Structure 1
Amino acid sequence: MSVAVLLERLKSRGEALFREVLDEASKLEVTLLLFGSRARGDYNILSDYDLLAIHKGTPVEGRGLIVNVFNVDVRELDEEVYRSPLVFSAVMTGHVILDKLNIKRHLSELRRRLTRDGGRVEGDKIILPKRTASS
Protein backbone atom coordinates (compact mmCIF):
# COMPACT_ATOMS: atom_id res chain seq x y z
CA MET A 1 0.00 0.00 0.00
CA SER A 2 1.39 3.40 -0.95
CA VAL A 3 1.94 6.31 1.42
CA ALA A 4 -0.62 8.35 -0.55
CA VAL A 5 -3.28 5.68 0.02
CA LEU A 6 -2.46 5.49 3.74
CA LEU A 7 -2.66 9.27 4.09
CA GLU A 8 -6.00 9.37 2.28
CA ARG A 9 -7.38 6.68 4.62
CA LEU A 10 -6.13 8.63 7.63
CA LYS A 11 -7.78 11.80 6.32
CA SER A 12 -11.08 9.97 5.71
CA ARG A 13 -10.96 8.36 9.16
CA GLY A 14 -10.31 11.71 10.85
CA GLU A 15 -13.21 13.35 9.03
CA ALA A 16 -15.50 10.44 9.96
CA LEU A 17 -14.54 10.66 13.65
CA PHE A 18 -15.07 14.43 13.61
CA ARG A 19 -18.57 13.93 12.15
CA GLU A 20 -19.30 11.32 14.85
CA VAL A 21 -18.44 13.82 17.58
CA LEU A 22 -20.62 16.48 15.92
CA ASP A 23 -23.53 14.04 15.63
CA GLU A 24 -23.20 13.05 19.29
CA ALA A 25 -22.85 16.66 20.44
CA SER A 26 -25.91 17.77 18.47
CA LYS A 27 -28.04 15.67 20.85
CA LEU A 28 -26.71 17.51 23.92
CA GLU A 29 -26.99 20.98 25.42
CA VAL A 30 -23.59 22.12 24.18
CA THR A 31 -21.76 24.78 22.22
CA LEU A 32 -18.70 23.61 20.28
CA LEU A 33 -15.76 25.78 19.29
CA LEU A 34 -13.24 24.52 16.76
CA PHE A 35 -9.81 25.96 17.50
CA GLY A 36 -6.17 25.33 16.65
CA SER A 37 -4.79 24.64 13.19
CA ARG A 38 -8.12 23.40 11.78
CA ALA A 39 -9.79 26.69 12.76
CA ARG A 40 -6.88 28.82 11.51
CA GLY A 41 -6.75 26.95 8.21
CA ASP A 42 -3.06 26.04 8.47
CA TYR A 43 -3.61 22.33 9.16
CA ASN A 44 -2.15 19.39 7.27
CA ILE A 45 -3.38 15.87 6.65
CA LEU A 46 -2.02 14.70 10.02
CA SER A 47 -3.53 17.55 12.07
CA ASP A 48 -6.03 16.70 14.77
CA TYR A 49 -9.34 18.42 15.49
CA ASP A 50 -9.36 20.52 18.68
CA LEU A 51 -12.78 21.28 20.15
CA LEU A 52 -13.87 23.19 23.23
CA ALA A 53 -17.20 21.81 24.39
CA ILE A 54 -19.09 24.28 26.56
CA HIS A 55 -21.76 22.09 28.09
CA LYS A 56 -24.61 22.13 30.53
CA GLY A 57 -24.32 18.85 32.39
CA THR A 58 -23.14 16.17 29.97
CA PRO A 59 -19.57 16.46 28.64
CA VAL A 60 -18.72 15.53 25.06
CA GLU A 61 -16.37 12.59 24.47
CA GLY A 62 -13.43 12.87 22.11
CA ARG A 63 -12.11 10.28 19.71
CA GLY A 64 -8.56 9.39 20.70
CA LEU A 65 -5.73 11.41 19.24
CA ILE A 66 -7.67 12.56 16.18
CA VAL A 67 -10.52 14.51 17.81
CA ASN A 68 -9.51 16.20 21.08
CA VAL A 69 -12.42 17.52 23.11
CA PHE A 70 -11.83 19.80 26.08
CA ASN A 71 -14.91 20.28 28.24
CA VAL A 72 -15.97 23.21 30.40
CA ASP A 73 -19.30 23.66 32.13
CA VAL A 74 -21.11 26.78 30.91
CA ARG A 75 -21.55 27.92 34.54
CA GLU A 76 -17.75 27.95 34.97
CA LEU A 77 -16.81 29.47 31.60
CA ASP A 78 -16.54 33.12 32.67
CA GLU A 79 -14.11 32.16 35.47
CA GLU A 80 -12.22 29.49 33.55
CA VAL A 81 -11.16 31.84 30.72
CA TYR A 82 -9.14 33.82 33.28
CA ARG A 83 -7.42 30.68 34.65
CA SER A 84 -6.91 28.28 31.77
CA PRO A 85 -4.70 29.17 28.80
CA LEU A 86 -6.41 26.45 26.75
CA VAL A 87 -9.95 27.68 27.44
CA PHE A 88 -8.86 31.30 26.94
CA SER A 89 -7.19 30.50 23.60
CA ALA A 90 -10.17 28.47 22.38
CA VAL A 91 -12.63 31.26 23.26
CA MET A 92 -10.46 33.96 21.70
CA THR A 93 -9.50 32.16 18.48
CA GLY A 94 -12.09 29.43 18.03
CA HIS A 95 -15.02 29.29 15.64
CA VAL A 96 -18.48 28.31 16.87
CA ILE A 97 -19.54 25.25 14.88
CA LEU A 98 -22.53 24.24 17.03
CA ASP A 99 -24.48 26.47 19.41
CA LYS A 100 -27.21 24.52 21.19
CA LEU A 101 -26.78 26.77 24.27
CA ASN A 102 -27.37 29.95 22.25
CA ILE A 103 -24.30 31.65 23.73
CA LYS A 104 -22.68 33.00 20.58
CA ARG A 105 -23.51 36.59 21.57
CA HIS A 106 -22.20 35.98 25.10
CA LEU A 107 -18.94 34.63 23.63
CA SER A 108 -18.54 37.82 21.57
CA GLU A 109 -19.07 39.94 24.68
CA LEU A 110 -16.68 37.72 26.64
CA ARG A 111 -13.98 38.16 23.96
CA ARG A 112 -14.35 41.95 24.18
CA ARG A 113 -14.05 41.84 27.98
CA LEU A 114 -10.99 39.57 27.84
CA THR A 115 -9.31 41.88 25.33
CA ARG A 116 -10.15 44.91 27.47
CA ASP A 117 -8.59 43.12 30.45
CA GLY A 118 -5.33 42.66 28.52
CA GLY A 119 -5.74 39.11 27.25
CA ARG A 120 -4.46 38.21 23.81
CA VAL A 121 -3.05 35.45 21.66
CA GLU A 122 0.07 36.32 19.67
CA GLY A 123 1.05 33.32 17.58
CA ASP A 124 1.94 30.61 20.09
CA LYS A 125 2.12 33.11 22.96
CA ILE A 126 -0.94 33.34 25.22
CA ILE A 127 -1.29 36.32 27.54
CA LEU A 128 -4.05 35.70 30.06
CA PRO A 129 -6.18 38.70 31.01
CA LYS A 130 -6.04 40.28 34.45
CA ARG A 131 -9.27 40.36 36.41
CA THR A 132 -10.66 43.84 36.99
CA ALA A 133 -13.47 45.01 39.25
CA SER A 134 -15.83 45.13 36.26
CA SER A 135 -14.85 41.67 34.93
Structure 2
Amino acid sequence: MAEYEQKTKETDQSVIEFIESVDSAKKREDAYKLLKIFEETSGFEAKMWGPSIIGFGSYHYKYESGHEGDAPLVGYSPRKAKISLYFATGDSAREKLLERFGKHTSGKACVYINKLADVNEDVLKELITDSIFFLQKMYP
Protein backbone atom coordinates (compact mmCIF):
# COMPACT_ATOMS: atom_id res chain seq x y z
CA MET A 1 0.00 0.00 0.00
CA ALA A 2 1.33 3.44 -0.92
CA GLU A 3 2.35 5.73 1.91
CA TYR A 4 -0.27 8.43 2.42
CA GLU A 5 1.17 11.85 1.61
CA GLN A 6 -0.39 14.64 3.62
CA LYS A 7 -1.47 17.43 1.24
CA THR A 8 -1.97 20.22 3.74
CA LYS A 9 1.40 20.95 5.28
CA GLU A 10 2.85 24.08 6.80
CA THR A 11 4.71 26.06 4.12
CA ASP A 12 7.00 29.10 3.98
CA GLN A 13 4.57 30.95 1.69
CA SER A 14 3.84 34.49 2.88
CA VAL A 15 0.44 34.92 4.57
CA ILE A 16 0.32 38.58 3.51
CA GLU A 17 1.12 37.73 -0.13
CA PHE A 18 -1.62 35.11 -0.05
CA ILE A 19 -4.19 37.57 1.36
CA GLU A 20 -3.11 40.16 -1.23
CA SER A 21 -3.83 37.58 -3.98
CA VAL A 22 -7.51 37.30 -2.94
CA ASP A 23 -9.62 38.77 -5.76
CA SER A 24 -12.44 40.35 -3.77
CA ALA A 25 -11.51 43.56 -1.90
CA LYS A 26 -14.17 42.80 0.73
CA LYS A 27 -12.81 39.25 1.28
CA ARG A 28 -9.28 40.69 1.53
CA GLU A 29 -10.47 43.16 4.17
CA ASP A 30 -12.17 40.34 6.12
CA ALA A 31 -9.06 38.15 5.73
CA TYR A 32 -6.94 40.87 7.40
CA LYS A 33 -9.50 41.32 10.20
CA LEU A 34 -9.57 37.54 10.73
CA LEU A 35 -5.76 37.47 10.76
CA LYS A 36 -5.75 39.96 13.65
CA ILE A 37 -8.53 38.14 15.57
CA PHE A 38 -6.97 34.68 15.15
CA GLU A 39 -3.44 35.85 16.05
CA GLU A 40 -4.56 37.82 19.11
CA THR A 41 -6.95 35.13 20.33
CA SER A 42 -4.79 32.07 19.65
CA GLY A 43 -1.45 33.60 20.61
CA PHE A 44 0.08 31.92 17.54
CA GLU A 45 1.66 33.49 14.48
CA ALA A 46 -0.14 32.85 11.19
CA LYS A 47 1.41 30.27 8.85
CA MET A 48 0.30 29.04 5.45
CA TRP A 49 -0.87 25.42 5.34
CA GLY A 50 -0.99 24.15 1.80
CA PRO A 51 -1.75 26.73 -0.88
CA SER A 52 -4.80 28.36 0.73
CA ILE A 53 -5.25 27.77 4.48
CA ILE A 54 -4.01 30.29 7.04
CA GLY A 55 -3.34 28.26 10.19
CA PHE A 56 -2.43 29.04 13.77
CA GLY A 57 -0.44 26.71 16.00
CA SER A 58 -0.22 23.02 15.18
CA TYR A 59 -0.74 19.59 16.66
CA HIS A 60 0.20 16.06 15.75
CA TYR A 61 -2.67 13.60 15.42
CA LYS A 62 -2.68 9.83 15.16
CA TYR A 63 -5.84 7.87 14.41
CA GLU A 64 -6.57 4.27 15.41
CA SER A 65 -6.17 3.40 11.71
CA GLY A 66 -2.51 4.34 12.07
CA HIS A 67 -2.92 7.45 9.90
CA GLU A 68 -1.09 10.40 11.42
CA GLY A 69 -0.02 13.90 10.54
CA ASP A 70 0.13 17.52 11.56
CA ALA A 71 -2.59 20.13 11.30
CA PRO A 72 -3.18 23.70 12.43
CA LEU A 73 -5.07 24.06 15.73
CA VAL A 74 -7.37 26.60 14.08
CA GLY A 75 -7.41 28.44 10.78
CA TYR A 76 -9.34 30.00 7.95
CA SER A 77 -9.31 30.39 4.20
CA PRO A 78 -10.83 33.29 2.24
CA ARG A 79 -12.18 31.22 -0.64
CA LYS A 80 -14.05 32.55 -3.66
CA ALA A 81 -17.53 31.44 -2.60
CA LYS A 82 -17.31 31.70 1.19
CA ILE A 83 -14.78 32.08 3.97
CA SER A 84 -13.95 28.69 5.51
CA LEU A 85 -13.18 28.61 9.23
CA TYR A 86 -11.40 25.56 10.64
CA PHE A 87 -12.14 24.49 14.21
CA ALA A 88 -11.81 21.18 16.03
CA THR A 89 -14.33 18.50 15.09
CA GLY A 90 -15.81 16.22 17.73
CA ASP A 91 -16.04 19.01 20.29
CA SER A 92 -19.56 19.20 21.74
CA ALA A 93 -19.00 22.81 22.85
CA ARG A 94 -18.60 23.82 19.19
CA GLU A 95 -22.26 23.12 18.39
CA LYS A 96 -23.44 25.19 21.36
CA LEU A 97 -21.23 28.11 20.35
CA LEU A 98 -22.40 27.93 16.74
CA GLU A 99 -26.00 28.48 17.91
CA ARG A 100 -24.91 32.00 18.94
CA PHE A 101 -22.43 32.57 16.11
CA GLY A 102 -24.63 34.22 13.50
CA LYS A 103 -25.21 33.49 9.83
CA HIS A 104 -23.15 30.45 8.81
CA THR A 105 -23.33 26.93 7.42
CA SER A 106 -21.18 24.08 8.61
CA GLY A 107 -19.72 20.91 7.22
CA LYS A 108 -17.86 18.18 9.06
CA ALA A 109 -14.66 20.17 9.62
CA CYS A 110 -15.47 23.66 8.35
CA VAL A 111 -17.74 26.50 9.28
CA TYR A 112 -18.58 28.69 6.29
CA ILE A 113 -19.42 32.38 6.42
CA ASN A 114 -20.10 34.91 3.65
CA LYS A 115 -18.55 37.82 5.52
CA LEU A 116 -17.25 38.67 8.97
CA ALA A 117 -20.09 41.17 9.54
CA ASP A 118 -22.56 38.22 9.55
CA VAL A 119 -21.13 36.71 12.73
CA ASN A 120 -20.56 37.54 16.39
CA GLU A 121 -16.83 38.25 16.84
CA ASP A 122 -16.94 37.40 20.56
CA VAL A 123 -18.33 33.95 19.73
CA LEU A 124 -15.63 33.61 17.04
CA LYS A 125 -12.99 34.23 19.73
CA GLU A 126 -14.67 31.62 21.97
CA LEU A 127 -14.65 29.11 19.08
CA ILE A 128 -10.92 29.72 18.54
CA THR A 129 -10.04 29.38 22.24
CA ASP A 130 -12.29 26.37 22.75
CA SER A 131 -10.94 24.57 19.69
CA ILE A 132 -7.31 25.05 20.77
CA PHE A 133 -8.06 23.86 24.30
CA PHE A 134 -9.96 20.81 23.00
CA LEU A 135 -7.20 19.77 20.58
CA GLN A 136 -4.36 20.32 23.05
CA LYS A 137 -6.19 18.16 25.58
CA MET A 138 -6.97 15.44 23.01
CA TYR A 139 -3.46 15.45 21.46
CA PRO A 140 -1.08 16.48 24.27
Asked if Structure 1 and Structure 2 have the same fold, meaning a TM-score greater than 0.5 normalized by the shorter chain, the answer is: no
Tell me the TM-score normalised to structure 1 length: 0.30
Over alpha carbons, which structure has the higher Rg?
A: 1
Tell me the TM-score normalised to structure 2 length: 0.29
Structure with the higher fraction of residues in helix conformation: 1
